[in-house]
Amino acid sequence: MRAGFSLILSVEADLEVVGEAGDGAEAVELCRELRPDVVLMDVQMPVMDGIEATRCIAAEDLSQVVILTTFDHDDYVFAGLDAGASGFLLKNSHAEDLVDAVRTVASGHALLAPEVTRRVIERLARVRAGDRARPEGPPSTGSGRPAYVGSSSEPRDPRLAELTPRELEVLGLVGRGLSNAEVALRLHVGEATVKTHLSNVFAKLHLRDRVQAVVLAYEAGLILPGDVDGPPPG
């Protein structure tokens, strides 16, 4: 499988395969030596599994990691994102999807396979936020559902205190899975403006990428699981 992935990637003019590893420990050492832009990480490997290797790589900020998984193994994806992966890709993805994935993550964006992303991120958010339930709960709209970004109620999560109202809107829309272009359309601003707001959000909240932003949006109560296709704020 490694040989197949390597062949697919190496024929692309803008991509270079700088190394291969047969286990997680070797992967970490190669990352320290080679500092690749992107690592495609399997989960089940000898010596050190892919989840622990991802945790080490993310902790040392050695590279962006994409977890390779199968549709039926959400637990691996959940653990990989929690360990610091920038996203995941299905092992049976088409060759062009693999190439696009590397380019996407290398450019600083998160890669989230649509088939399982939503339930994985919702689960991660529930695990992190559910065990430290806020006594008063999220602000209410009066209909039993939390107020969304853009309402008159201020978010209760203290991590969001430094964000401006517009930055909260951007975080909420990114949390619902919208691209920068889609956020710009919803807010009637330029895409460059959205990028600026999003960069400010990342800096203020110490987030590495969109994966972490989506998870935090769920944790903070800006979005409820299942509300991702609801109406835009405002």
Same domain for 162 and 66: no
Same domain for 185 and 111: no
- 66-119: per-residue pLDDT in tens? 888 775 566 677 777 778 888 778 777 788 888 888 888 887 766 665 555 556
In order of 24, 123, 139, 209, 212, the CA distances from 113 in angstroms are 23, 15, 31, 15, 15
Domain residue limits at 211: 137-219
Assigned domain for 71 exists: yes
Same domain for 112 and 41: yes
Q: What is the spatial distance between Cα 25 and Cα 20, in angstroms, rounded to a whole number?
A: 12
Same domain for 141 and 109: no
Q: What is the spatial distance between Cα 28 and Cα 32, in angstroms, rounded to a whole number?
A: 6
Taking the CB of residue 92, how many other CB atoms lie within 10 A of it?
Answer: 9
Same domain for 70 and 40: yes
Amino acid code (one letter) for 198:
L
- Provide the CATH number for the domain around residue 59: 3.40.50.2300
Decide if 166 contacts 173 (C-beta within 8 A). Answer: no
Same domain for 102 and 6: yes
Assigned domain for 231 exists: no
What is the tally of structural domains in the chain?
2
Greater model confidence, 75 or 61: 61
pLDDT at 153: 47
Same domain for 86 and 11: yes
Average per-residue pLDDT for the chain: 77
Same domain for 50 and 8: yes
Same domain for 8 and 98: yes
Same domain for 160 and 93: no
This prediction has a pTM of 0.61
DSSP β-bridge partners for residue 140: 146
* Residue of 43, 115, 45 lying closest to 80 (CA atoms): 43
Instruction: Identify the top-confidence range among 64-73, 83-92, 197-206, 217-226.
Output: 197-206
Assigned domain for 215 exists: yes
